Amino acid sequence: MVEHKNNDKTFLGFWIYLMTDLIMFAVLFATFAVLRNNTFTGPSGEEIFNLPFVLAETLILLTSSFTCGLAVLAARKGDKKQLYSWLLGTLFLGFAFLFMELSEFQELIHEGYTWTKSAFLSSYFTLIGTHGLHIAVGLFWLIILLIKLSTSEINSSIIRKLTLFSLFWHFLDIVWIFIFSIVYLIA
């Protein structure tokens, strides 16, 4: 009973942390919404966005969120091999997403549209950059989990950590959906 009790304490605590992160993203969305037209001689949204590329990114992140869910199920079933494969899938898709995003940034900077150009570009880089940073932290966390998994059998604390990670990963995917809709589609 004690095991279960402090289990849902951790979940509630982590969930409230996720909510504070959501509010931070809300502030970034509000700032982006207010500053999206202040392009100030710099390029506006349509000119610099490449929609098919972003669609690919969205699909990749969606699938990695899906594989992460399956990984948790595999962990609950205790099937270590399946768990490993799904986690590696999530890891690979996560890195693919991060790589595509960084290459998009690199291309923008190469063309001279850096964040010092205009308020719109500043808020664009910050919103996408913060999300990218969260993805990087998530991937780093996943690598730590994989190392931990290799050294010990599947026990309740591993499952707890995995479920926490999957909450974080789903949360990131939801934030990306809103980025995809508000930043890219509306532009």
Partner 1 sequence: MEDLFGKLTLQALPHEWFTIGGAISMTAGGLGAILLLTYLKRWKWLWTEWLTSTDPKKIGVMYITVAVFMLFRGVLDAVLLWLHQVLAGGGQGYLTADHFQQISTAHGVIMVFFVAMGLLFGLMNIIVPLQIGARDLAFPFLNSLGFWLYVAGAILINIFFVFGGEFAATGWLAIAPLSGLEFSPGVGVDYWIWSLQISGLGTLIGGINFIVTILKMRAPGMTLMRMPLFVWTTLCSMILVVSVFPILTMTIILLNLDRLLGMHFFTTGFGGNPMMYTNLIWMWGHPEVYILILPAFGIYSEIVATFSGKRLFGYTTAVVAVVAVTLLSTLVWLHHFFTMGADANVNAFFGIMTMIIAIPTGAQIFNWIATMYKGKIRLTTPMLWFLGFVATFTFGGMAGVMLAIPPIDYQVHNSLFLVAHFHTMAIGGALFGLFAGISYWFPKVFGFKLNEKLGQYAFWCWLVGFFTSFVPLYILGFMGVTRRLDTYDPSTGWQFLFLISLLGAGIIALGIGFQLLQIAVSILKRKENQNTTGDPWDGRTLEWSTSSPPPSYSFAVIPTVDDRDAFWTMKQAGKPISKPIFVDIHAPKNTASGIYISAFALIIGFSLVWHIFWLTVLGFLGVIITVIVRTFNDDTEYTISASEIAKNEEKRGIYG
Partner 2 sequence: MKNTSETNSYIIGFSLALLLTLTAYFTVVNNFLDGGILVAAIMLLAFLQLFVQASFFLHLWQEKNPRWNLLVFLSTFSIIVLVVIGSLWIMNNLDYRHDNTHEGVQKILEKEGFSR
Partner 3 sequence: MSIKPTLLLLISLLFLIVILVVFFITTQDVALLNPKGYIAQKQFELIKFAVFLGLFIIIPVFSLTFFTVWKYREENKDKNFFPSFGNDSKMQVIFWLIPLIIILVLTIITWKYTHLLDPFKSVASEKPPIVIQVVALRWKWLFIYPEQGIASVNFVQFPKKTPVQFKLTADEAPMNSFWIPKLGGQMYAMTGMQTQLNLIADSREEFSGSAAEISGAGFGKMRFTAKSSTEEDFEKWVNETRSLGKELTQYEYDKLLKPSEGNPVEYFSIYDDLYNVILAKYQPQNGSQINHYNHTNY
Residues engaged in binding partner 3 (CB under 8 A) = 39-41
Determine the interface stretch with partner 1 among 24-32, 43-51, 60-68, 170-178 (rule: CB under 8 A).
24-32
- Of residues 135 and 147, the one with the C-beta less far from partner 2: 135
Give the nearest distance from C-beta 48 to partner 3 in angstroms. Answer: 17
Distance CA 187, CA 183 (A): 6
Using CB under 8 A as the binding rule, the residues of this chain from 51 to 90 that contact partner 2 are 51, 55, 58-59, 62-63, 65-66, 69-70, 73, 76-77
Q: For the chain, first and last CA: distance in Å?
A: 52
Q: What is the pattern of x (binds partner 2, CB under 8 A) and - over residues 158-187?
A: ---------x--x--xx--xx-xxx--xx-
- Of residues 8 and 111, the one with the C-beta less far from partner 1: 8
Q: Which does 28 bind (CB under 5 to 8 A by kind): partner 3, partner 2, partner 1, none?
A: partner 1
Distance CA 33, CA 38 (A): 10
CB neighbour burial string for 139-156, b if at least 16 within 10 angstroms, e if fewer: beebeebeeebeeeebee
Distance CA 91, CA 174 (A): 18
DSSP state of 181: I
Contact (Cβ atoms closer than 8 angstroms) between residue 163 and residue 69: no
Contact (Cβ atoms closer than 8 angstroms) between residue 172 and residue 135: yes
Distance CA 170, CA 81 (A): 23
Q: What is the pattern of x (binds partner 2, CB under 8 A) and - over residues 8-37?
A: ---xx--xx--x--xx--xx-xxx-xx---
How many chain residues touch partner 2 (CB under 8 A)?
Answer: 38
Helix axes 2-35, 119-151, angle to 10 degrees: 160
Interaction of residue 126 with partner 1, rule CB under 8 A: yes
Q: Which residues make up the interface to partner 1 (CB under 8 A)?
A: 5, 8-9, 12-13, 16-17, 19-21, 23-24, 27-28, 30-31, 34-35, 38-40, 115-120, 122-123, 125-126, 144, 157
